[in-house]
Amino acid sequence: MAADGVRRVVIEVPEGLRILFGELEERLRVELALRLYEKCIVSLGQAHRIAGLSK
């Protein structure tokens, strides 16, 4: 675990997705946060932090 209490993950995605490269990280963060919250794996606050959103 990193010193700031955060783990970093590298994800490989195929080229040719119908998402602009500049939007890819933000989109993946939001999608992951939504899914983890939906599955009751993270709290709403944790989902906000994963998605990079303010409360």
pLDDT per residue over 1-55, tens digit each? 555 788 889 999 898 889 888 899 999 999 999 999 999 999 999 999 999 987 6
Instruction: Answer whether residue 2 is part of any domain.
Output: no
Q: State the Cα–Cα distance between residues 35 and 7, nearest whole angstrom.
A: 18
Name the token pair of 41: 């794996």
Instruction: Answer whether residue 1 is part of any domain.
Output: no
Where in the sequence is the domain holding 45, given as residue range(s)? 21-51
Q: Which residues are within 8 A (CB) of 46 and not within 5 positions of it... i.e. 6 or more apart?
A: 36, 37
User: Could you tell me if 44 and 37 are in contact, meaning their C-beta atoms sit under 8 angstroms apart?
Assistant: yes
Instruction: Answer whether residue 38 is part of any domain.
Output: yes
Rounded to 5 degrees, what angle do the CA atoms 39, 30, 28 make?
A: 105
* Overall number of domains in the chain: 1
pLDDT computed for residue 21 by the predictor: 84
* Full-model pTM: 0.79
Instruction: Answer whether residue 12 is part of any domain.
Output: no
